[in-house]
Copies of this chain bind each other. A is one copy, B any other.
Amino acid sequence: MAVRVQTEDFDIGREIAALTNDRTDIGAIVTFTGTVRGTAQDAAISTMTLEHYPGMTEDELSRIENDAHARWPLQASLIIHRIGTLHAGDNIVLVVAASAHRQAAFEAAAFLMDFLKTRAPFWKKETDADGNGRWVDARETDETAAAAWLR
């Protein structure tokens, strides 16, 4: 179990290797990688800046990770979220869930993302080619997805 908030990029293959190295109790590893898309609402994005609430972010991500481990038998998990200024195609977030079986790994990874999206204190600001900034709006569908786990 680990959470990291960092400006640097991450290497998915290396992160998986670090989690699973020398372990033979893992049978299924699911990763989710979120990347910056080049357009938003049909307008080109020049950069995306990610702000967070230092101190709370790590606490909240750890709470989400603990919740996932309480729900599914996970051998390992990892959440990495980047902050700072990113460009189209850049990695934003990596979530990894490892379990003996695939259903637990799939569900836990989706759960981690649904709650990261709705609970972890990050905010995205898009800047277009003219330098106009716009805070990204929260999506109703993200709230719906997270709420579905609590039914």
Residues of A within 8 A of B (CB): 11-14, 16, 20, 22-39, 88-89, 100, 102-103, 105-106, 109-110, 113, 141, 145
Contacts and interface: CB of A to CB of B under 8 A. Distances in A.
Given A88-B24, A89-B24, A102 B13 contact: no
A12 B18 CA distance: 13
Q: How many copies altogether?
A: 2
A33 B38 contact: no
In the A-B complex, the 4 residue pairs with the smallest Cβ-Cβ separation, listed nearest first, are: A13-B13, A24-B38, A24-B88, A29-B33
Contacts of A103: 141, 145
Contact of A89 (B20, B34, B37, B105): B20
A89 B22 contact: yes
B12 A24 contact: no
Contact of A102 (B12, B16, B89, B113): B113
Contacts of A36: 24, 27
27 contacts: A12-B12, A12-B16, A13-B13, A13-B14, A20-B89, A23-B89, A24-B36, A24-B38, A25-B39, A26-B35, A26-B89, A27-B35, A29-B31, A29-B35, A30-B30, A30-B31, A30-B32, A30-B109, A31-B31, A31-B33, A32-B102, A34-B102, A102-B110, A102-B113, A103-B141, A103-B145, A106-B110
